[in-house]
Amino acid sequence: MGTFTFQDIYEEDGRTILELDILHDNHCNFNCVFCPIGGTAIKRDQPISIEGTEDSFNDLINLIKENSIDLVYFNSNGESFINDKFEQIVDYIKSQGIKVRLFSNGYMLGMPEYIQIAKKCDEVFGEVKCASENSFLKYQRPVEGYSLEKYIENMVAFKKQFAGKFNLIVTILRGYNDDEQSICWLKETLDKINPDVLSVETLTDDVYGKAFGIDDEKLNLIKGVLT
């Protein structure tokens, strides 16, 4: 039985997109308090063999053969790098002339063993949420030994050598990074990373939006500063 979750094929900007999750549970290097997909089942930053991957890989191959796909989007519940077959899957997709998009929280993008995999992708998304070391450790709850400083350094290093499009999502959270000092830090950080595309957003869902979201007026003011 396969373990991947496939979304319905959809169109975006004239391209046909196949979006999928290649993790059985939420395997991530963070366990964020405000994660929209829930708590991390297994917190780690090393690849593991995930049961059902081979069957799901065959399902993916069949979907690609049976449909005209322009781009495959890895948007997993956690960090796709943790599936030890991720590079093999990317290599197959690229061999079919299909582009690859990866959503990552961004931390592992600076680690040598993952840089080379990420560089094979055409588009990579990273993200920034917390704006201080204390809030990063308390609310994003990373693997032991991680730091906000290194997190940013990793994305800076990756962006400098990535030939594709690097997209960065900044999520503004009420009471955590929406004050003047945090906005200044975010502006300086964005200048360092220099993403190709920047999105500034807040949480809007019924659960986390009520707890952490900011109103449209404040969000637009912050966008004006950061973009």
Sign of the C-alpha dihedral computed for residues 139, 141, 146 and 151 taken in this order: negative
Name the token pair of 169.
């999502």
Whole-number pLDDT of residue 65? 95
Q: How many domains does the chain have?
A: 1
- In this prediction, residues 102-110 reach a mean pLDDT of 93
Q: What is the CATH number of the domain that holds 205?
A: 3.20.20.70
For position 39, what pLDDT does the model report? 72
Q: Label residue 27 by pLDDT band (50, 70, 90).
A: confident
Residue at 91: amino acid letter = D
The residue range of the domain holding 167 is 5-226
Sorted by sequence, the CB contacts under 8 Å of residue 220 that are 6+ apart come out as: none
Whole-model pTM: value is: 0.92
Residue 20 corresponds to which tokens in the numbers above? 């999928």
Q: Tokens 């900011």 — which residue?
A: 214
Q: In this predicted structure, what is the pLDDT of residue 80?
A: 95
| Helix-helix angle 86-95:53-66, to 10 degrees | 20
Q: What is the 3-state secondary structure (H, E, C) of the chain?
A: CCCCEECCCEEECCEEEEEEECCCCCEECCCCCCCCCCCCCEECCCCECCCCHHHHHHHHHHHHHHCCCCEEEECCCECHHHECCHHHHHHHHHHCCCEEEEECCCHHHHCHHHHHHHCCCCEEEEEECCCCHHHHHHHHCCCCCCCHHHHHHHHHHHHHHCCCEEEEEEEECCCCCCCHHHHHHHHHHHHHHCCCEEEEEECCCCCHHHHHCCCHHHHHHHHHHHC
Token pair listed for 70: 């322009």
Residue 2's pLDDT band, with cuts at 50, 70 and 90, is low
CA 41 – CA 217 distance, rounded (Å): 36
pLDDT at 51 over 60: yes
Q: Are 81 and 104 in contact (CB under 8 A)?
A: yes
Q: How confident is the model at residue 154, as a pLDDT?
A: 94
200 near 219, Cβ under 8 Å? Answer: yes
Mean of pLDDT values over 47-66: 94
